[in-house]
Amino acid sequence: MKNICLCLLIVLVLLFSTSCGLLQTASVNPPSADDSSENTQVVKETISNEEDAKAKKIINEYFTALYTKASVDYYNDYSGAGIIPGQIRGFIAEKTIKEGDGNPEIGIHLPRFISINGLTIVEYNLETISENNGGENPNIVADFISKNGDIFLYYTKIYCKAKVIPDEVFSELYTRNSDNTYSKTKEIKEEDIDYMRVELRYDVELVKSDIGLSILRAVESNIKSNMKNRLFVFNNDNITRLPYLNLSKNENGSYKNPSDGEIYETEKAVIKEFFSKFTELDRERMNLLKYRWKQGLKSVTEFLDSIGITTGEGGVKLIELDNDYDSKYPINSFPLRNNMERIKEIKNFEVTPHPAYSEKIKLYYVKFDATVQRTNGITDEFFTYRYDYIVSLSKTEDSVFIEKIKLNEYFTFTK
């Protein structure tokens, strides 16, 4: 019996010792993947507000120098040879210049030809935005990601207006070299040029030294594995086409891009004034117009001029009628329908730039509500209809007018 008790005592002592050893091991080793997240403590290096401000200042100045009126033709040879251009050389770290200058795989990526939505970018121009205080800044957004010793990593977005030409025109004017750089063989014609707005994304590493911060690497986000693949014109992983007009606003209600805001407000005013004039076109006048519609351009123009639909306040041209009036302003796209007597009021306009809107293609989605009296209805009973249009505008040197309209749909609100 004594032997049995002694054996049990030894076993208990061994178990207790082993359990203590396991607790000590768990206390010094990092948590495993199976541990709950609440027991996992991640240590992340941060930077001071002062360092962050200095880093963002360097990034802004660097991309301002790189993307202000940046012709890709100019940068093409630099990209192929891996040479750092003079206007950005002062921002680059000594290590990068010493080890990478003249190497095509250098981590300094320059503006390049990119095809997006059937158009090839041949030039970039950095966008500026107006702040609440009235000052202007380059539209560059740099977000701190991480710090590793003296190296800071930032995810950076650059907003530009880009000069573009159709892909097929680019293929005619440029010859592709073996390294995917391109040589221009013919000059670009003015009629082939348009503009779009884009967002470019970069990963930027800065290094801190005795002389301050400098750029160690500035590479496209989602980059391809080597220079030749990255320069491929259809590699557009680091770029997004944006609505052409920047209509974002400051806290005080002003547009961050005042010139874009002015363009939008001017074009929206023309659209609203034109459609508001359809209150002048009742059932009787629609019947008269349908007859004139078959008589030709002169007859249609005289009638619409007489009821004031073609011009706005101060004699400003709202539409321009020509021999293609039937396709540009189809009569079945006019808001008054067969079961309507008249439109009392048009209101609640929503005027939104179409995704295809560009410098040349001024295209809008237009929605509005119309208060309508129906045919054979009670004279003081009105119904609200919702209309949905696509509207194209044309611009001359001193004015803008509606070039085409197309009714997508209309419907009445259920009471």
| pLDDT tens sequence across 168-183 | 999 999 999 999 999 9
Q: What's the pLDDT at 81?
A: 94
Residue 263 pLDDT class (50, 70, 90 cuts) = very high
Pairing of strands 400-412, 362-374: unpaired
- Which run of H or E residues covers position 52? helix 49-67
CATH of domain 49-242: 3.10.450.540
The average pLDDT across 306-327 equals: 93
Q: By the 8 A CB rule, do 66 and 88 touch?
A: yes
Cα 327 to Cα 13, 277, 332, 405: the distances in Å are 97, 20, 10, 9
Q: Structure tokens of 28?
A: 């010094």
Sheet holding 383-395, edge to edge: 340-353, 362-374, 383-395, 400-412
Residues 173-177: contacts with CB within 8 Å, 24+ apart? 174/113, 176/233, 177/80
Q: CA torsion angle for 50, 54, 57, 61 (degrees, to 10)? A: 170
Task: Give residue-wise pLDDT tens across range 81-123.
Answer: 999 999 999 999 999 999 999 999 999 999 999 999 999 999 9
DSSP for 144-196, please give it. Answer: EEEEETTEEEEEEEEEEEEEEEEHHHHHHHEEE-TTS-EEE-SPPPGGG-EEE
Q: What is the pLDDT of residue 325?
A: 95
Q: For residue 106, what are the CA distances in angstroms to 64, 88, 94, 304?
A: 20, 14, 13, 64
Is a pLDDT exceeding 70 seen at residue 318? yes
Q: State how far the alpha carbon of 262 is from the alpha carbons of 230, 256, 284, in Å.
A: 38, 11, 38
- Which phi and psi angles does 125 have, rounded to 5°? -140, 120
Specify the pLDDT at position 414: 65
The pLDDT value given to residue 397? 79
Q: Is the pLDDT of residue 7 over 60?
A: no
Q: Strands, E, within 65-139: which ranges?
A: 70-71, 114-116, 119-126, 128-130, 136-138
pLDDT of 289 > 60? The answer is yes
Residue that the structure tokens 């010139």 belong to: 259
**Mean of pLDDT values over 251-280:** 94
Nearest to 200 by CA among 239, 143, 236, 237: 239
Task: Quote the CA–CA distance of 296 and 301 in Å, as a whole number.
Answer: 9
The pLDDT assigned to 34 comes to: 45
pLDDT at site 30: 39
pLDDT score, position 134: 66
pLDDT band at 222 (very low <50, low <70, confident <90, very high): confident
Name the residue with tokens 């008790």. Answer: 5
Task: List pLDDT tens digits, range 29-73.
Answer: 334 444 444 444 445 678 899 999 999 999 999 999 999 999 999
Q: What is the pLDDT of residue 381?
A: 80
376: left (phi over 0), alpha (psi -120 to 50) or beta: left
Binned at pLDDT 50, 70 and 90, residue 413 comes out as confident
Instruction: Single out the residue of 117, 130, 92, 287 nearest to residue 207, CA to CA.
Output: 92
Mean pLDDT, range 301-317, rounded to an integer: 92
- Express each pLDDT in 349-373 by its tens digit: 999 999 999 999 999 999 999 999 9
Summarised one tens digit per residue, pLDDT across range 267-283 is 999 999 999 999 999 99
What is the rounded average pLDDT of the residues 379-404?
A: 91
Tell me which of 162 and 399 has the higher pLDDT: 162
Within 8 A by CB and 6+ apart from 120, the residues are: 113, 114, 164, 165, 166, 167, 169, 170, 233
Least confident segment among 88-102, 144-158, 243-257, 376-390 = 376-390
Q: Residue 390: exposed, middle, or buried by beta-carbon count in 10 A (0-12, 13-18, 19+)? A: middle
- Residue given tokens 């701190």 in the structure block: 144
Of all residues in the chain, the percent with pLDDT exceeding 70 is 88
Q: Minimum mean pLDDT among 2-16, 73-87, 108-122, 290-304: which range?
A: 2-16
Cα 387 to Cα 366: distance, rounded to the nearest angstrom: 8
Q: Which helix (H) or strand (E) segment is 403 a member of?
A: strand 400-412
Its pTM stands at 0.82
296 pLDDT above the threshold of 90: yes
> Which residues does 122 contact at the CB level (< 8 Å), separation at least 6?
71, 72, 73, 113, 163, 164, 165, 170, 188
| pLDDT at residue 163 in the model | 98
